[in-house]
């Protein structure tokens, strides 16, 4: 027998209203900032190598040593993983709203601090940059489970998928903004401070003007601005009714908060709430046999698919510049000065974001409540696998000058189907299928598994993509870009298989998916036996 509170039923069937869009913008700006902060580092790593690691009279400009490059690219993901687990758990203990502002302020402070990394010596700059980017990632990590949970608990069941996906789609605009800011900053400095290319400069280091040190700092610090602008509104949001009622067990406050939001009066229904929350099926913990029985396979499905997706997705995003350089779409580093290289890398990544990344996110928003989560995720992994193998197997064909545009189109399609696919659905589903008292925690665990995949991608692909015969200075030989793309294709294929563990949540209420509105099976059986005629 299903038992629902009036206030939760009202949220499930509410028409789309202004408060839905307000929640999307408030939560979405956090994700805009997350994406900007995580991916803008890939725009400036080559510049950091030129500024701090150029060797006098070397044939090519300086590059970050392997251990430094891995740390700079990957340390934020380590912080994000930690933050997802910690703030996911805290969101279920203290409430979504109390923790929400905390994560945003950490992001603001650490974005600014990253750009103010101390000193002018390589060791001091890189050490402090990595320190602050770890804590930046820690704040970003908290935004994942909290934003997803808040949006799922505010939304109606008819368009819930689109609303959660719209929050996540702001990530695409964050990636796009990162490229645009890098283009504007690098172009402005390039116009103001002219410099010859590396191969023409005498000495070669003259191709990197001293003012270039401000460029990477400004790009990183800009990430504080959108987060700061939404802090006030984030603090004004009321706690979600599902947390207040089902976890905090305060029926009166839940009804009062949602009365203001929906502009409808609700009965508190404390007796019904007490009956629901005291049922055996609504008291089990994360490490109980009951959780394993009800949601064990679901959690395995959400963690594995997110892990596999992020290996491929972050490898592609963070190392676009290396792949584009390998096929010759970005000229050789020695033919450009430092600021020209930043401009070219930013322009290439912005083009990919504009043509494939951003549209992919919004295709998911448009179709997720029509096609369903399962179909979109399966389709996305399938086409990512197809296009990755289509790039990898005839890789030598794509490196010829006349075929580069074809490579970029195929590469863009893998991004499109990542975002019109598992990159969005792996974020949406964990916010829908677990009980309210464990929802933020389980989303945090799923997201942390994803960031473990991102760490594998960030650290592993950096070494794996190195040439077998001519690796970059300081790097051991790798398996090459071609074989790395084959590995990523196999990873995407595994994602197809593990998708079958994830349930479809389209059109169902959160309580229906988590079975919080059902009586315990043993109780139903006992009551039936008591009332059955002799």
3-state DSSP of 319-339:
CHHHHHHHCCCCCCHHHCCHH
How many of the other CB atoms lie within 10 Å of CB of 6?
Answer: 15
List Cα–Cα distances, 242 to 89, 135, 440, in angstroms: 16, 30, 12
Q: Report the predicted TM-score, pTM, of the whole model to 2 decimal places.
A: 0.86
How many of the other CB atoms lie within 10 Å of CB of 283?
Answer: 13
Most distant CA pair in the chain, distance: 102
The b-or-e profile of 411-450 (16+ CB within 10 A means b, else e) is bbbbbbbbbbbbbbbbbbbbbbbbbbbbbbbbbbbbbbbb
pLDDT score of 26 more than 60 = yes
pLDDT in tens, 191-219: 999 888 888 887 877 888 899 999 999 99
Rounded mean pLDDT of 498-526? 75
Is cis: bond before 428, omega within 30 of 0? no
Q: Quick one: which of 301, 236, 290 has its CA closest to 438? A: 290
Residue 382 to residue 399: CA distance in whole angstroms = 25
Residue with token string 């770890």: 134
Q: What is the pLDDT of residue 241?
A: 83
Q: Quick one: which of 43, 45, 34 has its CA closest to 103? A: 34
Mean pLDDT of the chain: 85
Residue 451 to residue 455: CA distance in whole angstroms = 6
Residue 249 to residue 270: CA distance in whole angstroms = 9
pLDDT in tens, 136-174: 999 999 999 999 999 998 888 888 999 999 999 998 899
Q: 71 CB contacts (<8 Å, ≥6 apart)? A: 126, 130
Structure tokens that stand for 410 in this block: 């195929």
Rounded mean pLDDT of 305-330? 75
pLDDT in tens, 364-384: 999 999 999 999 999 999 999
Position 55 confidence tier, pLDDT thresholds 50, 70, 90: confident
């Amino acid at each position: 027998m299903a038992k629902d509170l009036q206030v939760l039923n009202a949220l499930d069937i509410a028409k789309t209203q202004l408060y839905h869009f307000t929640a999307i913008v408030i939560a979405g700006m956090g994700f805009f900032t997350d994406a900007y902060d995580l991916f803008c580092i890939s725009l400036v790593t080559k510049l950091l190598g030129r500024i701090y690691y150029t060797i006098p009279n070397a044939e090519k400009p300086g590059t970050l040593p392997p251990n430094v490059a891995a740390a700079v690219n990957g340390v934020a993901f380590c912080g994000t993983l930690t933050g997802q687990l910690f703030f996911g758990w805290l969101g279920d203990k203290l409430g979504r709203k109390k923790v929400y502002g905390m994560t945003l302020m950490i992001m603001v402070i650490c974005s600014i601090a990253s750009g103010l990394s101390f000193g002018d010596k390589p060791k001091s700059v890189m050490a402090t940059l990595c320190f602050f980017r770890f804590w930046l990632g820690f704040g970003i990590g908290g935004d994942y489970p909290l934003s997803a949970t808040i949006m799922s608990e505010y939304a109606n069941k008819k368009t819930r998928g689109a609303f959660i996906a719209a929050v996540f789609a702001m990530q695409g605009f964050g990636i796009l903004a990162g490229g645009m800011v890098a283009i504007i900053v690098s172009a402005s400095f390039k116009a103001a401070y002219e410099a010859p290319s590396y191969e023409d400069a005498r000495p070669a280091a003259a191709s990197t003007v001293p003012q270039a040190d401000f460029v990477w700092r400004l790009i990183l610090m800009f990430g504080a601005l959108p987060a700061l602008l939404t802090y006030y509104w984030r603090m004004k949001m009321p706690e979600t009714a599902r947390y207040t009622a089902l976890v905090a067990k305060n029926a009166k406050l839940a009804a009062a908060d949602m009365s203001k939001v929906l502009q409808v009066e609700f009965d508190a229904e404390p007796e019904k709430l007490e009956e629901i929350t005291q049922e055996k099926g609504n008291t089990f913990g994360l490490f109980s046999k009951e959780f394993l029985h009800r949601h064990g396979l679901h959690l395995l499905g959400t963690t594995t698919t997110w892990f596999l997706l992020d290996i491929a997705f972050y490898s592609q995003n963070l190392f676009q510049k290396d792949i584009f350089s390998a096929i010759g779409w970005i000229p050789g580093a020695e033919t450009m000065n430092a600021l020209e290289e930043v401009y070219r890398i930013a322009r290439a990544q912005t083009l990919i974001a504009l043509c494939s990344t951003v549209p992919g996110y919004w295709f998911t928003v448009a179709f997720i409540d029509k096609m369903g989560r399962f179909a979109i995720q399966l389709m996305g992994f399938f086409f990512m696998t197809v296009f990755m193998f289509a790039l990898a197997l005839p890789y030598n064909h794509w490196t010829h000058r006349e075929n580069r545009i074809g490579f970029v189109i195929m590469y863009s399609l893998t991004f499109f189907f990542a975002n019109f696919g598992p990159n969005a659905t792996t974020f949406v589903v964990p916010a829908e299928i677990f009980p309210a008292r464990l929802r933020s925690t389980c989303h945090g665990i799923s997201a942390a598994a994803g960031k473990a995949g991102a760490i594998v991608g960030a650290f592993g692909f950096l070494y794996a993509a190195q040439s077998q015969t001519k690796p970059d200075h300081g790097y051991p030989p790798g398996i090459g870009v071609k074989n790395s793309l084959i590995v990523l294709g196999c990873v995407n294929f595994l994602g197809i298989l593990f998708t079958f563990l994830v349930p479809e949540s389209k059109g169902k209420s959160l309580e229906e998916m988590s079975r919080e509105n059902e009586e315990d099976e043993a109780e139903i059986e006992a009551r039936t036996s008591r009332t059955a005629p002799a």
